[in-house]
Amino acid sequence: MADWTAGEVAGMIGATLLGRAEAHFAAATTDSRESRPGAAFFALDGARHRGVQFVPAAFGSGCSVVVVPNDWTGEIPPGRAALKVADPMEALVALARRVRATWTCPVVAVTGS
């Protein structure tokens, strides 16, 4: 994945940017246990939890950017950013489309049973 800034991605996914526009990331995760410096955490809801519950852990692990629903009211550590969106899953899909569009090689899918 390319190196993106929060400001660049906010425009791509229609997000409201809070915090540092220059916060950058080169990886994305939906699991706060896999959070690390230089990554973005997408706060997706699961069957038994809300993704925003894990934002403090993601920031604590060094994530520079979090993508959260519009109703999130948490704190952003200095030098980091939050991107508020209507639906973090849709935002992840939009970013994935954008990343895929930069590839020049063919994509092959292998299916079967």
Domain 4-101 grouped into CATH 3.40.1390.10:
yes
Residue 56, pLDDT > 90, answer: yes
Which candidate, 73, 69, 36, 25, places its Cα nearest to that of 51? 69
What CA–CA distance (Å, rounded) separates 13 from 9? Answer: 6
Q: What percent of the chain has pLDDT over 90?
A: 83
Q: Say yes or no to pLDDT of 25 above 80.
A: yes
pTM attached to this predicted model: 0.90
